Amino acid sequence: MHPPPHPHHPAGGHGHAPSPAAAPGLSVADPGLRFLARLVDVVLALFCTFVVGIGAVLVSVVVAGGGEPDEAGPVFPILLVGGLVLVAFLYEWLQVAKWGRTIGKRVVGLRIVRADDGRPVSAGRAAVRAFCYSPGLYHVTNWLPVVQQLNLLWLLWDRPLRQCLHDKLARTVVVEDRRTAPGPSVPEGWRG
C-alpha cells in the first residue's frame, strides 16, 4: 500500500504534473514533424509577406499620384514595416486561436493544445505563442539570436513534453493529431 501523493508532487512520481501525452489519444509531436510543419508555414508566411510588400508599393504609388513609392512620404515605410511584422504574427495567431494549428501543422498532422490539460488553446495563449515565434523573419526571438537558437533547440532536451521556450511561455504543447494525420487519399472520382 502506497501513501497518498504529496500535494506538491502529483501522482506522476517525478514532481511533474501529468502530461497531456498521457491522456488517451494524445502523444507529443516528433521534433522532425514540427520542423517540417514550420518549414511549410515559413514558405506560406513569406509568400503572404511578399503579397503585402507588393500591396504596400501599389498603395504608395497611388498615394504618390503615380510617382515613386518614396514620394508618398511615410506611407510606404509604415505599410511595409507594419505589414512585415503583422503578417507573420497574424498568420500564426489567427490559425492557432481558431483551429489549434497552422496550415503546416495540419499538413503533417499536428496540433497545439494547452499543456496543463490538453484542451484547445485560447486566443490569449495563441497570441503569446505567435508573439514569441511567428513563422517569419520578424518575430520577437529574432531580435536576440541566442534566444532564438535556445528557443528552437529547447525541445531536444525538454522532457516529457518536448516544449520549445515559446511553448513554455504560452503553456502549450504540440501533439500528434491522429484525426488529420497525413495518409494516402484518393479523390472521390478517381476510385476504380
Question: Model confidence over 1-26: pLDDT tens digits?
Answer: 544 444 443 444 444 444 454 455 68
| Residue 49 grid cell | 509577406
Which stretches in the chain have pLDDT values below 50? 2-19, 21-22, 181-192
Q: What is the pLDDT of residue 5?
A: 45
Question: What are the sequence ranges of the domains in the chain?
Answer: 21-178
Q: What is the pLDDT of residue 125?
A: 97
Residue type, 162: R
Measured CA to CA in angstroms, residue 27 lies from 10, 84, 101, 111, 131 at distances of 20, 34, 15, 11, 25
Q: What is the pLDDT of residue 169?
A: 93
Q: What is the pLDDT of residue 146?
A: 83
Whether the pTM exceeds 0.85: the reply is: no
Query: What CA–CA distance (Å, rounded) separates 113 from 125?
Result: 10
Query: What CA–CA distance (Å, rounded) separates 128 from 130?
Result: 6
Phi and psi (nearest 5°) for 170? -90, -5
Q: What is the pLDDT of residue 15?
A: 41
Does the bond joining 74 to the residue before it have cis omega, within 30 degrees of 0?
Answer: no
Q: What is the pLDDT of residue 28?
A: 95
Q: What is the pLDDT of residue 20?
A: 53
Query: pLDDT per residue over 103-118, tens digit each?
Result: 999 999 999 999 999 9
Query: What CA–CA distance (Å, rounded) separates 43 from 104?
Result: 9
Phi and psi (nearest 5°) for 26? -115, 130
Q: What is the pLDDT of residue 174?
A: 97
Q: What is the pLDDT of residue 62?
A: 86
